[in-house]
Amino acid sequence: MKQRILAGQHVSEIGLGCMNLSHAYGHPLSEADAAKVITEAVELGVTHFDTAALYGFGKNEALLGKLLKPHRQRIFLASKCGMTGVDGKRVIDGRPATLRATLEKTLTSLKTDSIDLYYLHRWDKNVPIEDSVGELSRMVEEGKIQGIGLSEVSSHTLRKAHAVHPIAALQTEYSLWTRNAEISVLEACAELGTAFVAFSPLARGFLSGKVTDSSGLIEGDIRKGMPRFQAEHMQKNLPLLTALNGISQVHQCSMAQVSLAWLLQQGRHIHLIPGTTKLPHLRENVKASNVTLSGREIETLNRVFDHQKISGKRYPAATQLEIDTEEF
């Protein structure tokens, strides 16, 4: 796998987002099936694994701690704090004491003495970003984390945080059909030397052509409540896949691989963490590293997937209020 720099380390340019092994898209995998995914990823050369205290309300970290412990010295481990499960509910809390308590539990769950990259999962708008990042910087001084990351924040918030301590990575949704990062965050990351980590690079399955409405999704799948997966918006978005499919046929690869290749060619500071529970999809995603699009093909995709042509918000209204990213 081709490598890129993240928090001072060389990592596979395509990593693995581990959320849906335990969280968000319906029934979690059994430990045995999750082990097959993790083992296959390691064998394919994936070295960047991304989790969070929120996922499965701690179960995802515990799962990865067990499965990745034999590989710990040769993999890059990222997790997140500031949004956790409390009494069965998702809670955003960026107070220093809460972040500290979350870290200690995370270290135990992940069976490690230090985390390579530790994100503030959400900026708690009741707590100055400087206070939250200040606590994270003390964790760096103690050697308990190696780099600080931020998730779903604006370029303005990134700059404020970076003034307290260098921010190693910023993570937010970025794909052909979610282009908000292009407003200013991508440029700010490049200027500050901050890596950009794209989650949901396949638009939660839409860009693969495998998830094109919410009718077949099981209860508990968060996409059922997302505007873009509702029929009124999906009917308007489906025609976008025609051009994507055409380019994939030229390259004799999948639409998912073209989508990931497009992202990788947006900048050397960009990292991808597609998630999957299926081994064929994992193998397919990793091979996207070998696809190179022409300048004309990139121009075509940029034109077809212009943000003005995307129908529907990416989050429901209540969730939208929790994030800090720039919006078109």
Distances (CA, A) of 252 to 14, 36, 257, 279, 296: 20, 27, 10, 20, 17
234 within 8 A of 228, measured Cβ to Cβ: yes
**Which residue, among 144, 125, 130, has the nearest Cα to 79 in the 3D structure?**
144
163 Cβ contact partners less than 8 Å away, ≥ 6 residues apart: 130
Which one of the listed residues 55, 118, 119, 315 is annotated catalytic? 55
Let me know how long the chain is. 328
Residue 321: HSE in the Cβ half-sphere, 13 Å Cα cutoff: 3
Q: Where are the beta strands (DSSP E) in the chain?
A: 3-6, 9-12, 16-17, 48-50, 76-81, 83-86, 89-92, 117-120, 148-151, 169-173, 195-199, 270-272
Give the whole-angstrom CA distance, residue 230 versus residue 4.
36
213 within 8 A of 185, measured Cβ to Cβ: no
**Which residue, among 281, 312, 271, has the nearest Cα to 181 in the 3D structure?**
271
Radius of gyration of the chain from Cα atoms? 19
Give the whole-angstrom CA distance, residue 286 versus residue 16.
9
Give yes or no: 55 in active site.
yes
143 phi and psi angles, rounded to 5 deg: 80, 10
Active site positions, annotated: 55
